[in-house]
Structure 1
């Protein structure tokens, strides 16, 4: 039976999992390129070296074909990411890990809780922040399937404390603002304002300014998020069937974002915004949103993952929400096609 442990954020849950596996300085963790800097943060805090695997253009998850060559005696774990809610090829990944004696951890941040069958991983982690399939506020959960790892993590869990009262109050206000904005349909237009305010420290930012010393990695999930989480997950499960069918097909998984390949990504994003169409830009780099020296500091070598770099340059995404209709997706794709045609003209 799996053990659930709730942490301040999804990345804090990942940090706890990797720490429970004994990861530390001198070790390596394989993660995919075409990911978020939040996945790299816990690795940098632990002092381990990220080893980037290239992706498949079909699933936008790790391509198993090149995975074995990345494993060394220093590899402590493989983190398999279910990008945009599209399942990674877990059978192949876990078989490669099993053959090498390397455990696999599932990144389920883009998945709807309760819709994923453990794919042979020792643990998975989830996130409930803004932009995720289930939004409950800032928070994350580790779902631990391996009994030994679960015992190790439970023995450490008492060291985690609740966030300070001021942070609790800030997050409660942010969740209320999110609900109001989401109800008006204006949420996506406020992204740039959110990024500016998080940079000023007015709201809870997506990335820790100093992950190595951030106190967030010693916090549990806040009380208010823990209180509302069961209802939010129940609602997400009830909406899963609709989200499966929103593309016009009865998919075997629940999509979070629909990836669309374009030629000139930046122009498409600008023209879509002018037309009032919500289009996601992530991931904009192999380790979103890092570029230049920051990308190098995250351990990524340009040219090492060509499929990830191609996706960062040519993939935009359309949201799939409970209120999204098949006609909305058709309209969005048609509009993107017209924008693409104007780019080529």
Structure 2
């Protein structure tokens, strides 16, 4: 079996340091907002090149608290992509705002900057691009547009830890960035975890208060907050893995580029790198008219595959009423043909060739 991601092989490579760090944390018994959380926040901020990084309980919470800290509220609109996991839009709803979906670029699958301006209304407060599959959205165009219209730029970096745009790391360009550390992510823990980044000390302080029941001082509550603190044990794991993030990104890029080489001439549309930033390949996603046949053949060969994402958000039942009549043809077309192949830093060239051979046998057969 070749899985989508092999967490076991990665764990075994860093097992000694992971196990030692967890045991030390257990001995210290400082489990909530302990020293490893504080250390990870500092190390992550240094790695990304941002002034402030605040650990929270999940990537979804990172989005939620970033929007809340930015003052996004009921009656506001936030422009985002329809081709993403629902957490992006859920977080907008959590603060009472309305997600406004804009179609995607047909090559990168990220939100299309050329289509954003037409969606701006007097109620628009922010643009929330998603760095999908590990490729940065076109932040130069989006940043310029936000500046021109007085809008906040908030980055969804759930899939892009380690990616850069023009030499600047994702999560450091907007007013706030939101990261996920779900186990399968490029930087993943062994449960849920998230991070909010910002250059603004006031924003960082708001996130810290919001994550801890609206409290700066114990039993003194200035606002209604949440219970969304990064777990100390997860911070131990993230500190170990953070040391290897460059190596992990290089491993993913090696796998992706070999896939693209092997699948050339098969008719599959392989991932496009626009050259504006570094794609870190959280997923390796192709487009094919024969998706079902390819996935069936892979399954029969003991190889995993997946579809991210089969239904664009504007077509989801939960948004059916407000998006009635909305047509976003590029997102709809991509969703109907996309599929992702196994990718992880430790994947061997032999495994990549095995996967590619099955795909090619269907598409060229």
TM-score by length of 1: 0.75
- Kept in 2: contact 1:24–1:48 (CA 8 A): yes
| CA separation of 1:319 and 1:134: change in aligned 2, threshold 3 A | farther
Residue number in structure 2 paired with 1:76: 125
Q: SS of the residue aligned with 1:29? A: strand
For 1:216 and 1:129, the matched residues in 2 are separated by: 23
- Kept in 1: contact 2:251–2:344 (CA 8 A): no
1:94 pairs with 2:143:
yes
1:322 pairs with 2:345:
yes
Q: SS of the residue aligned with 1:125? A: strand
Shift of 1:267: 3.6
Which residue, 112, 121, 125 being the options, matches 2:178?
A: 125
Residue number in structure 1 paired with 2:330: 307
Shift of 1:248: 3.6
Shift of 1:18: 0.7
Residue number in structure 1 paired with 2:291: 265
| CA separation of 1:238 and 1:8: change in aligned 2, threshold 3 A | same
Between the two proteins, the alignment pairs up a number of residues equal to: 286
Residue number in structure 2 paired with 1:56: 105
For 1:114 and 1:335, the matched residues in 2 are separated by: 30
Q: Structure 2: any 5+ residue segments left out of the alignment?
A: 1-49, 216-223, 261-272
1:296 pairs with 2:349:
no
1:17 pairs with 2:66:
yes
Q: SS of the residue aligned with 2:320? A: helix
Shift of 1:270: 2.7
For 2:138 and 2:207, the matched residues in 1 are separated by: 27
For 1:329 and 1:141, the matched residues in 2 are separated by: 32
Residue number in structure 2 paired with 1:335: 358
Residue number in structure 2 paired with 1:245: 254
Shift of 1:134: 1.9
Which residue, 187, 190, 195 being the options, matches 1:134?
A: 187
Shift of 1:218: 2.8
Residue number in structure 2 paired with 1:280: 306
| CA separation of 1:224 and 1:322: change in aligned 2, threshold 3 A | same
Q: Structure 1: any 5+ residue segments left out of the alignment?
A: 162-214
Shift of 1:291: 5.8
Shift of 1:243: 2.2
TM-score by length of 2: 0.71
Which residue, 233, 237, 260 being the options, matches 2:242?
A: 233
1:33 pairs with 2:82:
yes
Shift of 1:80: 1.1
State which structure, 1 or 2, has the greater radius of gyration over its C-alpha atoms.
2
Q: What is the CA deviation profile of residues 164-219 of structure 1, one whole-angstrom value per residue up to 9, with x for unaligned ones? A: xxxxxxxxxxxxxxxxxxxxxxxxxxxxxxxxxxxxxxxxxxxxxxxxxxx99532
Write the mapping of 1:117-196 to structure 2, written as runs, cut at 5 A. 117-118=169-170, 120-136=173-189, 137-159=191-213
- Kept in 2: contact 1:30–1:77 (CA 8 A): yes
Residue number in structure 1 paired with 2:228: 219
| CA separation of 1:242 and 1:295: change in aligned 2, threshold 3 A | same
For 2:124 and 2:291, the matched residues in 1 are separated by: 35
- Kept in 2: contact 1:21–1:76 (CA 8 A): no
